Amino acid sequence: MTEGYDSIIEYMRGIGARLEFDRRYPGRKMVEQIAISDKIIRFKAIIPMDDGSIELFQCYRVQHSDTLGPYKGGTRLHPTVNMEEVKALATLMTLKTALAGVPFGGAKGGICVDPRKISVNELERLIRKYTHRLLPEIGPNVDIPAPDVNSGEREMAWMYDEYRKSRESARGVVTGKPLELGGSHGRREATGMGVSIVLLHTLRDLNIHKPTVAIEGFGAVGSHAALDLHGKGLKVVAVSDSKGCVFNPAGLDIVELDAYRASGGTVTGFAGGESIGSIHDADADVFIPCALGLSVNESNVGRVRAKLIVEGANAPVTMEAEKTLTARGVAVVPDILANAGGVIVSYYEWAQNREGLYWDLETVRSRLYNTITEAYTSVTRHAREHGVTMREAAYRLAMDRIARAMAARGAQ
Ligand code: GLU
């Protein structure tokens, strides 16, 4: 489970008060309009398993807001997925797209399943059933799913294929597709690259030189952030996954670690480092949580030794833990800025699908750099000018943008 839904809404209420929404938009209930999800979809998928038995899976899609464009957000496959979590993640998507300035709203999907515990055929049936049930709800101009924890190009290909069976071929119905099906160059590594770009800007602004880095999670986000940072000469001293953590104070060889993980499925047992109990105990200047929510919480925040935390995952630092970190002078770069690279390149994929004109990797990379840098610059400028945290600044900019759009649309 990630950050409780209520604490994000509570946080947004505080921001709404500080942005003086009641005075600026009298009688509009602006915070409520921005914060409360538009539509919540929950259903069960009944799947025949390979052995002839039947299994039930809880499925969710939360369409949080379409004020700035079609609903947009990933599809999480995890045994802890639940409604509150999907609602929170959908809310974060709305804020993320608004902050990045991409023309989407926010949504999130999830299936309560451990994909490692079912066969590939069973997973394909589940994803197709999930997509089929959502046919009336999704579409390139309505709601555009994408990858999230444990879903990637393969699952997006199934979703696209299931959609086109009964709808006009519309490649923009999902993003994060394989290149062969209209995916974009650079989408696979986009979130990790964005984390790396934002981290390098932050290090420069905070005058942190030659930092050591610890990364929690070596999946779609963590591995690409690690590879990019390693390639740029930063010392990544600790990396973890769901099975364990490897540490080397002299710096891990991330290229070798990536090859090791590709062959064995885990970073544990890597000969180029020693095994340690928890990534939170790794001594590093920068901590990049790229796994699930709630990684840094009240129970372990005292152990965090980093000077800087960059949220590669969604909601990895709880609001309570962040208060403690801020009081200790630890800077936290919020998820809606730090991991926006994924949805930014999803936007490029969607735009390329609409145009039927495809861009090369260099074009994608340089546009990603410019877009996320612009978001970073506006957040740090606002934070500096108003003496607030980067999270407060990011939420303010996102909520202000949405409020202006709502007001411009009239009374509705
Ligand atoms: N799941 C990713 C996120 O949380 C990407 C969403 C997308 O590309 O639509 O930002």
**Do 247 and 154 belong to one domain?**
no
Ligand 1 centroid from CA 188, angstroms: 11
CA-nearest of 395, 390, 377, 42 to 201 is: 377
Residues 85-94 have pLDDT tens digits of 999 999 999 9
DSSP assignment of 31-92, as one string?
HHHHHS-SEEEEEEEEEE-TTS-EEEEEEEEEEEE-SSSSEEEEEEEETT--HHHHHHHHHH
Helices and strands per DSSP (H, E), number in the chain: 14, 12
User: Distance from the CA of 304 to the center of ligand 1, in angstroms?
Assistant: 27
pLDDT in tens, 169-199: 799 999 999 999 999 999 999 999 999 999 9
Instruction: Please tell me whether residues 215 and 285 are part of one structural domain.
Output: yes
- Report which ligand 1 atom has the smallest distance to the Cα of 176: 8
The pLDDT > 70 percentage for the chain reads: 99
Confidence of residue 39 (pLDDT cuts 50, 70, 90): very high
Known catalytic membership, residue 44: no
Is 388 part of any domain?
no
- Regarding whether 87 and 50 lie in a shared domain, the answer is yes
Atom 7 of ligand 1, nearest CA residue? 343
Write down the pTM of the prediction. Answer: 0.98
CA distances from 59 to 72, 112, 156 (A): 17, 6, 16
Same domain, 154 and 207: no
Q: Is residue 250 part of a domain?
A: yes
Do residue 252 and residue 303 come from a single domain? Answer: yes
Who lines ligand 1 at CB under 6 A?
72-74, 96, 146-148, 175, 314, 339, 342-343, 346
Q: Is residue 398 part of a domain?
A: no
Nearest alpha carbon to residue 222 among 287, 291, 276, 275? 291
Question: Could you give the number of structural domains in the chain?
Answer: 2
Q: Are residues 112 and 203 in the same domain?
A: no
The range of the structural domain enclosing residue 289 comes to: 190-338
* Residue from 346, 347, 350, 364 whose mutation best tests the ligand 1 pocket (most atoms within 8 A of CB): 346
- Retrieve residue 6's tokens: 């209520």
pLDDT surpassing 70 at residue 296: yes
Q: Tell me the average pLDDT of the chain.
A: 96
The pLDDT value recorded for residue 169 is: 78
**Mean pLDDT along residues 102-116:** 98
Question: Per residue in 312-359, pLDDT tens?
Answer: 999 999 999 999 999 999 999 999 999 999 999 999 999 999 999 999
Alpha carbons 165 and 190: distance in angstroms, whole number = 29
Does residue 367 belong to any structural domain of this protein? no
Residues 74 and 121 in one domain: yes
Give per-residue pLDDT as tens, 135-144. Answer: 999 999 999 9
One-letter amino acid at 183 equals G
Q: How confident is the model at residue 2 (pLDDT cuts 50, 70, 90)?
A: very low
Note whether 100 and 240 are same-domain residues: no
pLDDT of residue 4: 59
Tell me, what CATH number does 153's domain have? Answer: 3.40.50.10860
Task: Let me know whether 93 and 195 are in one domain.
Answer: no
**Per the domain annotation, does 181 fall within a domain?**
no
pLDDT for res 369:
98
Going from the Cα of 74 to the center of ligand 1, the distance in angstroms, rounded, reads: 5
Strands 212-216 and 235-241: parallel
Report percent pLDDT > 90 for the chain: 97
What is Dmax (Cα atoms) for the chain?
A: 63
In a domain? residue 15:
no
In tens, the pLDDT along 162-177 reads 999 999 879 999 999 9
Dihedral of CA atoms 71, 76, 77, 80 in degrees, nearest 10, equals: -120
Q: Where a domain ends, among 287, 307, 338?
A: 338
User: Are residues 327 and 194 part of one domain?
Assistant: yes
Closest-CA residue to 75 (of 12, 128, 7, 3) = 128
Tell me the C-alpha distance between 125 and 404, whole Å.
43
Best of 343, 364, 368 for a ligand 1 pocket test (most atoms within 8 Å of beta carbon): 343
Burial of 379 (0-12, 13-18, 19+ CB in 10 A): buried
pLDDT band for position 50 (50/70/90)? very high
151/272 same-domain check? no
Task: Calculate how far, in angstroms, residue 124's C-alpha sits from the geometric centre of ligand 1.
Answer: 21
Q: What is the pLDDT of residues 378-412, one digit of tens each?
A: 999 999 999 999 999 999 999 999 999 999 998 75
Q: Does residue 227 form part of some domain?
A: yes
Alpha helices (runs of H) in 235-389, residue ranges in sequence order: 254-264, 319-327, 335-338, 341-355, 361-386
Element spanning 394, H or E:
helix 390-408
Q: What is the mean pLDDT of residues 281-292?
A: 96
In this structure, are 108 and 247 located in the same domain?
A: no
Mean pLDDT in residue range 145-161:
98
pLDDT of residue 134 exceeding 90: yes
Q: Are 94 and 65 spatial neighbours (Cβ–Cβ below 8 Å)?
A: yes
The active-site residue out of 72, 87, 108, 177 is 108
CATH number, residue 195: 3.40.50.720
**Kindly report the CA angle at 100 between 97 and 106, in degrees rounded to 5?**
5
User: From CA 235, how far away is CA 252, in angstroms rounded?
Assistant: 7
Per DSSP, 314 falls in state S
Structural Rg of the chain based on CA atoms = 21
pLDDT tens profile 260-274: 999 999 999 999 999
Atom number, ligand 1, closest to the C-alpha of residue 104:
9
Average pLDDT over residues 89-104: 98
